Every structure is written in structure tokens, then in C-alpha cells.
Structure 1
Amino acid sequence: MSEETIDDIMDATYRALCEHGYAELTMQDIAAESTKSKGTLHYHFDGKRELLEAFLEHLIEQFEARTETVPGETPAERLHAFVDELLSSADDDSATAFRTAMLEIKAQSPYDEAYQERLAEFDRRLRDRIADFVADGVAAGEFHEDIDPEATGEFLVTVFHGAQTRAAAVDRSPERTKAYVHDYIDEALRADDGGNADVDVDEPTAASGQEGSR
């Protein structure tokens, strides 16, 4: 399959998901949004399930390409920029519809191993990317030396998924969550004055890699 064909089918899948949602989506709906026929779609994919597996993989690749480089001269600045990308607020109707459709796909993942594997892979890549920023910050002396990069990555990925679920389920913009995460980076992670001087890293906090609350 050519790159042009892949892009066309994936773009059509995005538009069809926004229009119809996961449950009502059919191969004909995707074909209607594509320059390809339904027969062409079935030539490349056995059905909706297999096409959506490819779509999830496409989303992962797109996200990684878009965030391969993030602006910022320091690890903290790059982590802030990455958070902005993760929790960007797109309030147009198509973005809202797509968030809802993705929530429907996530709801299927406990019963569909392929969906679960792809969502888990995206989750892992997000966690590792954040952990790398944090580890770089610790090495540079920007973040407190006792911060656990892996645990912080797990925590922030959980926050991201929660914000996206709320945005889809109860139409709650992620903007306030994004502001809280920026404060968390500056107040709980940073080792400089005004950073996390008042955070006791021996207490159970998300930053220290132990379960607790702030």
C-alpha cells in the first residue's frame, strides 16, 4: 500500500469516526470519506476492526512525528512544551466528536487484545518520553535528585488519560488540568528556589514514586 493510500484511508477514518462514532461506524462510512472504494478498503483490511487497529498505530506514529522535537532550551522547558501538546484544548465540534469516538475505542480494549496492545504501546511511549525529560532534568540539576522519572511519567500519563476522558465524557476542558500540571512541574519537581523546597520527598507523593496525594 502506498503512503498516499495510507494517508487517504487514515484521514477518511478520522473524519468518519468524528461523524459516526465508533459503534455506528461502517466500512462504507469510511469509504464515503475517502477517494477509495469500499472494495479497496476490504482489499487492504479484513474489516472495521483491522482498519481501526491500523488507525491506532497511525495515531501513535503521527504523535511521535509531531513531538519528535519540542521547543525549549532546558529539560523543564521541554517538559512544559510536551505537556502543552498533550493537553492542548481543541474545542471545535470535530475534535470533541473524535475524543468521544476514541473513548468508545478505549472502552472496547478490555475485550479486544489488539486494541489493548496498541493503546498500551502508546501509553508506554508517553511514559518513557516524559521519564526521559524528567531524567534529563535530574541530571542537569533542574529537578530534585530524589525524583523518580519512571514514577513521574506514570503519574503524568494517568493525569493525561483522566483529562482526556473527562473532556469526552463530561465536556470538561483540559485547560485547568494543564495549568495544574505546569504548577506541579515548577513546584514539585524543580530543585531551584521556589521549586519543591517545601515538598518532603520522604513522604508518599506522586513525584517520589509512591502512591499518595498532593
Structure 2
Amino acid sequence: MTDILEATHRALCRHGYADLTIQDIAAESDKSKATIHYHYGTKEALFSVFLDYLYDQYTAQIDAASGETPLEHLHSLLDILLWDSTDPAKQAFQTAILEIKAQAPYDESVQEQLIEFDAYLSDRLQAVIEAGIQTGEFNDDIDPSTAADFLTTTIKGAHTRQVTVNHPPEHLTVSMANYIQTYLLDDDPTEAPPA
């Protein structure tokens, strides 16, 4: 029931997780509190489904990145992930994610679901970096896993700063470009070896 999940998203951004009730979600929906309880039972069960819903949105965002070269693909990914801070929909999405992250130390199932978010981003970044090394566009001395981990941590940190202290994530764009130029790009790019 997508409408209930969308209502959950709106209610979460408005009330936060700790104070959120099924009634708050019903108030954002055309469904009654009883209907939501019927479909999901508890707030915790609803949030498990809600996280799956967010995961599908998140992975679709990442999969929308493209480029003719690995470098273009990486820049496309960063453009998507270091979103325009004036976009209220993206702000709301990151607020919702941060609210959920706050529950992870106390809820193993939430933590497991959030690990999937993290792994998806890291895996995509690593695949792009590996492709860049194969084509000779990126430095073959770098470890793709370490570089992907660094980029993932930096991006997630930018999202947290945006939500908590209103620091625009796009400010990181210049630093990311410098990182790519200094550490990822091959100083002497060559053609990829024949297959």
C-alpha cells in the first residue's frame, strides 16, 4: 500500500521517529488508524516495510547515474548523491533516513536493512572505480574497495551535516573533484589492454 508508505514518509519528516504514532501516519493519509493497524500491525512492522520502500527509491536514484566513461559515470553519481540542498523533497528524504539511522544501534533489524543501503552505494562506487582502472582512466595503484569506502563515508557524512546543521552537501563538490583529480585519475592514461 504505497499511499500508506508515502504517508509514513511525510509523518516521519514532520514528527520524527520517537514521537511518531500510527495516528500521525493516518493523519497524513486517507486511511484510518484501524486500516493501517490491519495491514501492518505495529509501528515497527510498518517501518520494516517502509525501509524496503526507501531502499527501492535509493537504489533507483543510484542506478539513474550514467556516463560514457567511468569518470563521467562517477561524476553523474556524485551529482545525484550530493543533491541540491534547496530541493525540499531530497531534504525530506535525507531527514527520514537520518531518523531511521538513529534507531539502528537499538534495533538489529533496522541496522541490517541500513547495511544494505550502505553496501549498495559502496558496491556501485567500487564497480565504477574498477571500470576506470580497467580502461586506464583511473590510477591502477589505488584500491577500489578503499576508495569506494572513503567516498561512501564522505557522502553519508555530507547528508548528515545537511540535515543536522544545514550545511549544503553540494559544497563538497569541489573537494570531491580534487580527490578524483589527485588520487583517482591516472597521470598518464593509456588505452585499456586488449581483451
Measured after TM superposition, the shift of residue 97 of structure 1 is 5.1
Question: Which of 11, 15, 21 is 1:16 aligned to?
Answer: 11
From 153, 156, 159, the counterpart of 2:154: 159
Whether the 8 Å CA contact 2:11–2:20 is kept in 1: the answer is yes
Q: Distance in 2 between matches of 1:189 and 1:94?
A: 32
Give the Å deviation of 1:18. 1.7
Percent identity, please.
49
Q: Which of 129, 138, 151 is matched with 2:124 structurally?
A: 129
Contact 2:82 / 2:170 at 8 angstroms: preserved in 1?
Answer: yes
CA distance in 2 between partners of 1:160 and 1:69 (Å): 17
* DSSP 3-state at the match of 1:102: helix
In the TM superposition, residue 163 of structure 1 has moved relative to its aligned partner by 0.8
Conserved 8 A contact 1:18-1:94: no
CA contact (8 A) 1:10 1:58 kept: yes
Paired residue total: 189
- Aligned AA for 2:104? S
- TM-superposed deviation, 1:98: 4.8
RMSD of aligned Cα (Å)? 1.9
1:64 is aligned to 2:59? yes
Kindly report structure 1 stretches of 4+ aligned residues shifted beyond 6 Å.
none
1:29 aligns with 24
1:75 maps to a residue whose letter is P
Alignment correspondent of 1:47: 42
TM-score by length of 1: 0.81
Q: How has the CA–CA distance of structure 1 residues 134 and 175 changed in structure 2, closer, same or farther, with 3 Å as cutoff?
A: same
| 1:67 counterpart SS class | helix
